[in-house]
Amino acid sequence: MAADEELGVSDRPCLHMISAFLALEPPGIVISFAREFGGGSLTESVQSCIWRRCISKADLKLQGPFLKRFLKKLIIEIELSGGIVLDELYEYYASCLVPLKDDGANVGNSKLLKTISFIFPNESRELEVRLRSSVNMLEGDTGCSVWPSSLFMSEFILSFPELFANKCCFEVGSGVGLVGICLSYVKASKVILTDGDLSTLANMKVNLELNHLTTGDHTSGSRLHDTKVQCICLPWESASEDDLHCFAPDVILGADVIYDPSCLPHLVRVLSALLKHERLCREKRPIAYIASVIRNIETFNYFLGLAERANLVVTDLTEMIKVSNFLPYLRSYDRPSIKMFRIHV
């Protein structure tokens, strides 16, 4: 019997360890799950499971910097505890050193491939979303990073699929496309993803393809629902009301879009145009959901003032809704810091 079968890869600690590794959580977090999985020790059986289920399936080109950090910390901790390190781990760590040394000058501009696994509570299923994202949240490359509010918005969508199923959904500032992929999973009738940065849009399209979604008609190879997905370049400052009215969405979403005071008047104008558009066949007016970390209270109050002047009603839903925890292994994800707002006219 294989070592990972002996330990039971379906056990929650093992599932969390693998999910944390695929999501490129800090090495210490992954190793803490590994210890829990091994009953407090990084035994050879645990190492074998890490090798078979995580490292041997990794892509050195896309995950090299993370693999190097993880293996270094894992090997050191095993040695400090007096354990025996598997030869495979030593050998793979050595293979990590050469390409990283050669490519070190370009690490800041490179992308990593991470997998966000949404584990459904009390169920045996999960949704795995593969994302090419930035190594660091650098200025100018923030659209290619996975932000906490997009994780929370994704959990919100999966918690309340009935709010989005069979609806035309429009996202402002779509970034890596995580929210759009979750909208497709819950069977939104149409998903419109927008961003004002062309390089972010290009990366978003790559992520859609990684998850078997295309920006056109449904293909037979798709593993998700046959949602039509559009990726559109939409700088808020230049979007005209005529352009916005043609989308006629039922639901508008935004994650971590309330951060730059200079952009907020344009954002509120876009939201107002989308929310106030009337369509004869629509039973209800559109509604918007915004998830955000309030980093600067003055900036947030400025947004509220602009919304009020535009006759938009902003309601804080944070304490009113129960969003399920689909990401129990993401210990670096600070869920309590995120607020959820509903906006309507």
Domain ranges for the chain: 3-109, 132-344
- Does 219 have pLDDT greater than 60? no
Sort strands 338-344 and 313-316 into parallel, antiparallel or unpaired. antiparallel
CB 323 within 8 A of CB 159: yes
pLDDT score, position 49: 94
Superfamily of 132-344 according to CATH: Vaccinia Virus protein VP39 (3.40.50.150)
Cα separation, 63 vs 60, in Å, equals 5
What's the pLDDT at 69?
94
Whether residue 199 contacts residue 208, with contact meaning beta carbons closer than 8 Å, is answered with no
φ/ψ (deg, to 5) at 293: -90, 125
Please tell me the predicted confidence (pLDDT) of residue 102: 45
DSSP state letters, 205-272: HHHHHHTT--SSS--TT-SS---EEEEEE--GGG--HHHHHTT--SEEEEES----TTTHHHHHHHHH
- pLDDT tens readout for residues 255-267: 999 999 999 999 9
Has residue 13 got a pLDDT over 90? Answer: no
Q: What is the pLDDT of residues 124-161, one digit of tens each?
A: 889 999 999 886 554 445 668 899 999 999 999 999 99
The predicted-structure confidence for 43-53, as pLDDT tens digits, reads as follows 999 999 999 99
Q: Residue 138 has what pLDDT?
A: 46
